[in-house]
Amino acid sequence: MDPDKIPLSVAIITKNESPNLPRCLESVRFASQVVVVDSGSTDDTIRIARDAGCDIFRESWCGFGPQKQIAVDRCREPWILVLDADERIPPETAAKIREIILAGNASVAGYRFPRKNFFQNRWIRHAGWWPDRVTRLFKRSKGRLTPVPVHEAVVVDGTVLDLPCPIEHFTEGRLSEILQKIDRYSTLGAEEAFRSGRESSVGYAVFRAALAFMQNYILRLGFLDGPQGLTLAATDATNKFFKYAKLADLHRKYQQIGSRSD
């Protein structure tokens, strides 16, 4: 193994991430293995990953949790770091990860990082966006992804410690792309809620949207993040509306099918 690298696997899932992937991969050059699981990129994502020496796997899309678990299952090193393509490991965090892994503390199974979220070139510090702690570094034998299609998380069996150094997240800032993301995420969220037996109505969707905006922009001080804070509060409210409106539509269609079968 390259003496500059440490026994760490980085697990990343991708689809058309060529604008983000180079900086993400550059930030984890200290890892001995980088696994990229791609779900049908049509841009330069695969070439970028190949040129960086990543282990590349092509898999059909199966939801965020299962897709990331596929990447984790392809990792070979004793420690795994799960990253999104639009995230970076800053130098001070890389140094801390190196220190942790080389020290080999047997009593700790995983680590949580604060996540610095940047939106339209602004670090978002309110409305629950900071410190936004996420578990991402764990021993391979101790961690797994929750098997959900959206809002997945790493679950670790054992002691998980908080670290002071952050992961940086450069979230999508183009409004046209955000609208597409809202459509995709609200559909996944509605389907998951439907499977769990939850119900909704258009009126409830309006209520949840208004509540989300009030919480994020006023109660959680999102207004202190300027125009970006307003945009994020509005887009989160839009996502909530469509999630619950789509859930109501799923129930309506289910009831129609049931009435036809009677």
**Tens digit of each residue's pLDDT (9 = 90 or more) over 108-122:** 999 999 999 999 999
Give residues with Cβ within 8 angstroms of 77, minimum separation 6: 7, 8, 9, 31, 32, 33, 140
How far is it, in rounded angstroms, from Cα 1 to Cα 252?
Answer: 58
Residue 258 is predicted with a pLDDT of 66
Where do the H-state alpha helices sit in 81-174? 91-103
pLDDT digits (tens, 9 = 90+) for 174-188: 999 999 999 999 999
Domain boundary residue, one of 142, 170, 198: 170
Confidence label for 3 from pLDDT (cuts 50, 70 and 90):
confident
User: Are residues 74 and 153 both part of a single domain?
Assistant: yes
Backbone dihedral angles phi then psi of residue 32, each to the nearest 5 degrees? -75, -20
Domain boundary residue, one of 110, 135, 170: 170
User: Are residues 159 and 143 both part of a single domain?
Assistant: yes
Domain boundary residue, one of 144, 170, 196: 170
Q: How far is CA 109 from CA 76, 79, 148, 189, in A?
A: 17, 9, 22, 30
pLDDT digits (tens, 9 = 90+) for 137-163: 999 999 999 999 999 999 999 999 999
Torsional sign, CA 61, 62, 65, 71: negative
Residue 1: inside a domain: no
pTM of the model: 0.91
Our count of domains for the chain comes to: 2
Rounded to 5°, angle at Cα 86 from 45 and 44: 10
Spatial CA neighbour of 107 closest among 33, 160, 185: 160
Residue 246: inside a domain: yes
pLDDT above 80 (res 70): yes
pLDDT above 60 (res 194): yes
User: Are residues 156 and 195 both part of a single domain?
Assistant: no
Give the CATH number for residue 26: 3.90.550.10
How far is it, in rounded angstroms, from Cα 255 to Cα 234?
Answer: 32
Give residues with Cβ within 8 angstroms of 208, minimum separation 6: 240, 241, 243, 244
Spatial CA neighbour of 81 closest among 170, 143, 16: 143
User: Are residues 89 and 187 both part of a single domain?
Assistant: no
Q: Residue 227 belongs to what domain range?
A: 175-261
User: Are residues 70 and 165 both part of a single domain?
Assistant: yes
User: Are residues 49 and 114 both part of a single domain?
Assistant: yes
